[in-house]
Amino acid sequence: MNYDVVVTCAVTGAGDTTGKSPHVPVTPKDIAAAAIEAAKAGAAIAHIHVRDPETGQGSRDPKLFKEVVDRVRESGTDVVINLTAGMGGDWIPSEEDPAMPGPGTDMISAEERLIHVHECLPEICSLDCGTLNFGNGNEIYISTPPMLRKMAALTKDWGVKPELEVFELGHIRFAAQMIQEGMIAEPPMFQICLGIPWGADQSVDTMKAMKDHLPQGANWAGFGISRMQMPMAATAVAMGGNVRVGLEDNIYLDRGVLATNGQLVTRAVEILERMGARALKPQEARNKLRLRGAE
């Protein structure tokens, strides 16, 4: 059981959810406001993607990230900033020639995936620790060992803690190898991502199996998507971990009731408090996770 819980809110993501809920933030102004809302509701960390303000689709434009981060910092609201570094790994083979990229492919180098991180210097950025079949189409998310080692080395040089996002046991195995090689600052920080098609399933058994394979002394959090968001949050706390909620992973508060980020954070905090735990403040989270700015 974890009695001092770090709550992360993933405020928007890059998925096709903007047409499903008016609460999913799209513009930098709205994404920054969502991060601030989440912090005021009890989240210590805001996990941030950006979207094209015209189309609502996920973007990796460094200018958009910079505007969001500047708005959050200038607001005076204390929250740990966690920027995604997962954009730019999408491969969709061409129907005419599967050896070539098809429409929707967006593949860039390790250095390019981190341009916005270098410019904004958040406390945390995500590091997706392997390749994954993504959904039922032809899309593959690609992160190769050389790419991941390069990204780990750069973030370590910059003092940005990588959140090691793991979608199956092989990802944990490779993350542990990078830790053994000294590429990740101690203590490592994992995010167990469950329910993403076709990664690990979201269940108590799966979370326990993945948690049990983490390196000794690692900090970790876990999440599920859609209706399993809150059950997996409670499971993570019971198993000694931290939690992640937010509109990136689930747009509903209750059956048929669309949520805001603040409402999802409030619900998660209520659950963990009823379990006898408490949500840490942002500075407490920095101290626990040994982030830049820890006391």
CA dist 3 and 213 (Å) reads 22
Q: Which of 294, 269, 286, 263 is nearest to 79 (CA)?
A: 286
Is the separation of the CB atoms in 94 and 100 below 8 Å? yes
**Which range marks the domain in which residue 247 is found?**
4-289
Q: Does residue 294 lie within any of the structural domains?
A: no
Strand order in the sheet with 140-141: 106-107, 89-91, 140-141, 132-133
**Domain harbouring 277, CATH code:** 3.20.20.70
Where is 67: in which H helix or E strand?
helix 62-74
Q: Does residue 34 lie within any of the structural domains?
A: yes
Give me the number of domains the chain comprises.
Answer: 1
Q: Give the model's pLDDT for residue 37.
A: 98
Residues 6+ apart with CB under 8 A from 63: none
Q: Give the model's pLDDT for residue 179.
A: 98
Tens-digit pLDDT profile for the chain (295 aa)? 999 999 999 999 999 999 999 999 999 999 999 999 999 999 999 999 999 999 999 999 999 999 999 999 999 999 999 999 999 999 999 999 999 999 999 999 999 999 999 999 999 999 999 999 998 999 999 999 999 999 999 999 999 999 999 999 999 999 999 999 999 999 999 999 999 999 999 999 999 999 999 999 999 999 999 999 999 999 999 999 999 999 999 999 999 999 999 999 999 999 999 999 999 999 999 999 999 999 8
Q: Give the model's pLDDT for residue 155.
A: 98
Is the separation of the CB atoms in 49 and 248 below 8 Å? yes
